[in-house]
Structure 1
Amino acid sequence: NVSSKLTCIKALFENYGFTDTQVSTLFKKYPFMITLKVDIAKPKLDFLHSFGFTSSDLCKVLADNGYVMRRSLENCLIPSCEILKGLLKDCKSVIVLVKKHPRVIKQDLRNSVVPNIELLRHYGVQNSRILAMLKQQPGTLLIGANRFKILVKEISEMGFDPGKIHFAGAITVWSGLSKETRERKLDLLRMWGWSDDEILLAFKKQPKIMISSEEKIEQVMDFLVNKMGWNASQISYRPLVMMHSLENWTMPRCLVVRFLLSKGVVEKNLTLSSFIRMSEDNFRKRFVDKFCVDFPEVITLYGGAEDNAQKFSRKITN
């Protein structure tokens, strides 16, 4: 009956080190587990345990993605773990990956990861970068082989060099955006005056620019163009500004530098990217600490950029 089946499957998990609370939580999150047959579930747990997963590892993996227990042992779990072991060279590395991304053993990697990696190698992507993609963004390599082939072709045709680091990064970014989302972001950048060539240049320099939300793109461009007076096209050459927090990084730095430029105490040819990419310590030493005695305003601007942005813009134009 149902009660005896529940008792048996609960006992199975407890035998693998799950506490009563962990089992209850697991069953509430994944009700299908209550109906698992012991003779089907046990070999899966046996295999994962023999592969090197500890009780703690299994608890984390199943808590994050209990649907692993629905996958075929022979057609999914075993081949997936063996494929990952072949790529990462040891079981420990596989376990680390699976704990972070349990979905990597939820599907037959022979239909995704294997052909996708072969394709990247065919294009000339370095093995170290492929493995970095597998460890950091495995979802990209889990895309079906046909769709992945189209994505790689699109990125290649944009002019990305397979030998450079941004090739893999661009594939990851592009794969995560629907066609509609891509077009909305492209149209927004065009609205701010970027040409298609400038958009492509920015994307090639910093693929993650397309991850920025439309709201953030709008806010950054509005601040840099309308409040700070930067040329929209020039910003396309420095897409890094889209990656930092506007309020906590870009805005205070721009306000301080613009103020110092108005006082003629820093070089006029200072580029946007040169001070945006500086470390916190270097920026403070070069633009805040150096001038705070003669111009105490820099401390206020750097510490309360958001509150002072509008007031400062009026001060500059007056």
Structure 2
Amino acid sequence: MANAFMAMRNLLSLAQKRFINTSVILPTASSSFTAEHLIKTCGLPLQPGLSVSKKFQIHEKELQKSLSVLEFLKAHDFNETQIGRLIENWPRVLLCRVESTLKLKFDFLTQNGFAGQILPQLIVLVPAILNRKVDSCIKPCFEFLKSFLDNNEKLLAAIKRYPWYFTFNFNSALKPNTVFLIKEGVPHDRVTKLILMYPRALQMKPDRMVRVVNSVKNLGLEPKAPVFVHALRVMIGMSESTWKRKIEYMKSLGWTEDEVLLTFKRNPDILACSEDKIGRAMDFFVNTVRLGSQTIVANPVLLQYSIDKRVRPRYNVLKILESKNLIEVNQRVFWLLTTRSEMKFRESYVAKYADKVPGLLEIYRGTVEAKKMNT
């Protein structure tokens, strides 16, 4: 034990020299043993090992349990990096009982399709799953999801996309929310879409789900309408005060409240955009492109495009080409800025004229200011 303590003092001395701005407290004998075990046996780097040892202790009598856990993880295809990350995120894994805790959960997950590298990826991402009971949490959640997702591929895709499903409070959120949506008339396949693509929407308290569903219905959207779940998702993502503030902001930009609500019912993602994004888009289209505000109201998808990455580079290219009498933009500017794919636009307006207008590609990439090309 004395040798271990001296070894850790040497490691700490090295740490103090390498990390001058880090305050390191000399460890107790217990934390020295833990740090040495984490660094030498578990493979954690020096600083993470020292950090974990300050808040988590392994005693010598628990060493065999820890070694058994490491052997078990390696037998299930965990590499050293994954083991290190798991221990950093949840060091108590080293004190788990292999047979009664880990094996039970690993066996269930393996038998249900989490084989190969999917299993360690899941556990490292959401170690809390090891703290959940199979019969009362993991299995019911798995079976419930399977009732919506008709094959293992979709099920695995949903859980890989949002592994926290296994940590949901199943009976107080996930189950009552999905049952309520079905009862309200939301088609089964659209509830499935929420599960696959927008799982956080099902995490909220059921009473709030009821309020939001009623709010969406009060706007005139029927639960069977394809846009209903999109509107639901957007409204779930903001508080009532934020919703009112965004409407007032849109009105300050020249929209009427009826126009804002009509736009939301057609394309809910518009109000998911930040006020800064909406404001910058309105400013660019109205003051630079010279589109009428009613054109934007009629085509609200304009507000979703990235001004700096998509719209401005295209606009600069078009204006350069127009200034050199190579093309006529006129009323086509709206279509050219928005509807053509990046590949088609680049082929038709950048590559096609690159020889005639040196530096056009740089303008398109945004690495040269457009005004310099007109001098």
Superposition TM-score, scaled by structure 2 size: 0.70
Equivalent position of 1:9 in the other structure: 69
CA contact (8 A) 2:149 2:155 kept: yes
Q: Following TM superposition, by how much is the alpha carbon of 1:78 offset from its aligned partner in structure 2, in angstroms? A: 0.7
CA-atom RMSD in angstroms: 3.4
Distance 1:204 1:282, change over 3 A: farther
Identify which of 184, 202, 208 aligns with 1:147: 208
CA contact (8 A) 1:192 1:232 kept: no
Bigger shift: residues 79-88 or 111-120: 111-120
Q: Following TM superposition, by how much is the alpha carbon of 1:159 offset from its aligned partner in structure 2, in angstroms? A: 2.0
CA contact (8 A) 1:188 1:214 kept: yes
1:218-249 Cα deviation digits (max 9, x unpaired) = 21112112223323343122121122211222
Q: Look up the equivalent residue of 1:185 and give its one-letter code.
A: K
Structure 1 gap ranges (5+) = none
Between the aligned partners of 1:165 and 1:26, the Cα distance in structure 2 is 41
How do residues 174-193 of structure 1 correspond to structure 2 at under 5 angstroms? 174-193=235-254
Equivalent position of 1:172 in the other structure: 233
Between the aligned partners of 1:274 and 1:155, the Cα distance in structure 2 is 34
Identify which of 177, 180, 183 aligns with 1:119: 180
Distance 1:51 1:225, change over 3 A: same
Q: How many correspondences in the alignment? A: 311
Between the aligned partners of 2:329 and 2:210, the Cα distance in structure 1 is 49
Identify which of 95, 103, 117 aligns with 1:56: 117
Identify which of 276, 287, 311 aligns with 2:338: 276
Identify which of 131, 139, 144 aligns with 1:78: 139
Distance 1:311 1:158, change over 3 A: farther
Distance 1:80 1:300, change over 3 A: closer
Between the aligned partners of 1:191 and 1:100, the Cα distance in structure 2 is 38
The alignment partner of 1:160 has SS state of coil
Distance 1:93 1:280, change over 3 A: closer
Equivalent position of 1:36 in the other structure: 96
The alignment partner of 1:54 has SS state of coil
Q: Look up the equivalent residue of 1:224 and give its one-letter code.
A: F
Equivalent position of 2:265 in the other structure: 204
Equivalent position of 2:44 in the other structure: none
The alignment partner of 1:112 has SS state of helix
Identify which of 153, 170, 180 aligns with 1:109: 170
Q: Look up the equivalent residue of 2:342 and give its one-letter code.
A: E
Equivalent position of 2:155 in the other structure: 94
Between the aligned partners of 1:201 and 1:153, the Cα distance in structure 2 is 17
Q: Following TM superposition, by how much is the alpha carbon of 1:281 offset from its aligned partner in structure 2, in angstroms? A: 4.7
The alignment partner of 2:214 has SS state of helix
Distance 1:244 1:30, change over 3 A: same
Identical aligned residues as a percent:
25
1:231-269 Cα deviation digits (max 9, x unpaired) = 33431221211222112222244456678999894564x
Q: Look up the equivalent residue of 2:240 and give its one-letter code.
A: K
Q: Following TM superposition, by how much is the alpha carbon of 1:292 offset from its aligned partner in structure 2, in angstroms? A: 5.7
Between the aligned partners of 2:65 and 2:318, the Cα distance in structure 1 is 70
Distance 1:240 1:6, change over 3 A: same
Bigger shift: residues 33-42 or 187-196: 33-42
Structure 2 gap ranges (5+) = 1-60
Within the alignment, does 1:231 sit opposite 2:275 as a pair?
no
Distance 1:305 1:202, change over 3 A: farther
Distance 1:213 1:273, change over 3 A: farther
Between the aligned partners of 1:218 and 1:203, the Cα distance in structure 2 is 17
Bigger shift: residues 258-267 or 106-115: 258-267
Identify which of 70, 82, 92 aligns with 1:22: 82
The alignment partner of 2:117 has SS state of helix
Q: Following TM superposition, by how much is the alpha carbon of 1:166 offset from its aligned partner in structure 2, in angstroms? A: 1.8
Q: Following TM superposition, by how much is the alpha carbon of 1:181 offset from its aligned partner in structure 2, in angstroms? A: 3.6
Bigger shift: residues 153-162 or 72-81: 153-162
Q: Higher relative contact order at CA 8 Å, sep ≥6: structure 1 or structure 2?
A: 1
Between the aligned partners of 1:94 and 1:209, the Cα distance in structure 2 is 30
Superposition TM-score, scaled by structure 1 size: 0.82
Between the aligned partners of 1:307 and 1:55, the Cα distance in structure 2 is 48
Distance 1:197 1:131, change over 3 A: same
Equivalent position of 2:22 in the other structure: none
Equivalent position of 1:213 in the other structure: 274
Between the aligned partners of 1:19 and 1:285, the Cα distance in structure 2 is 46
Bigger shift: residues 86-95 or 277-286: 277-286
Between the aligned partners of 1:27 and 1:251, the Cα distance in structure 2 is 47
Which of these two proteins has the greater Rg computed from alpha carbons?
2
Within the alignment, does 1:136 sit opposite 2:197 as a pair?
yes
The alignment partner of 1:189 has SS state of helix
Q: Following TM superposition, by how much is the alpha carbon of 1:303 offset from its aligned partner in structure 2, in angstroms? A: 2.2
Between the aligned partners of 1:300 and 1:16, the Cα distance in structure 2 is 50
Between the aligned partners of 1:289 and 1:8, the Cα distance in structure 2 is 62
Q: Following TM superposition, by how much is the alpha carbon of 1:103 offset from its aligned partner in structure 2, in angstroms? A: 0.8
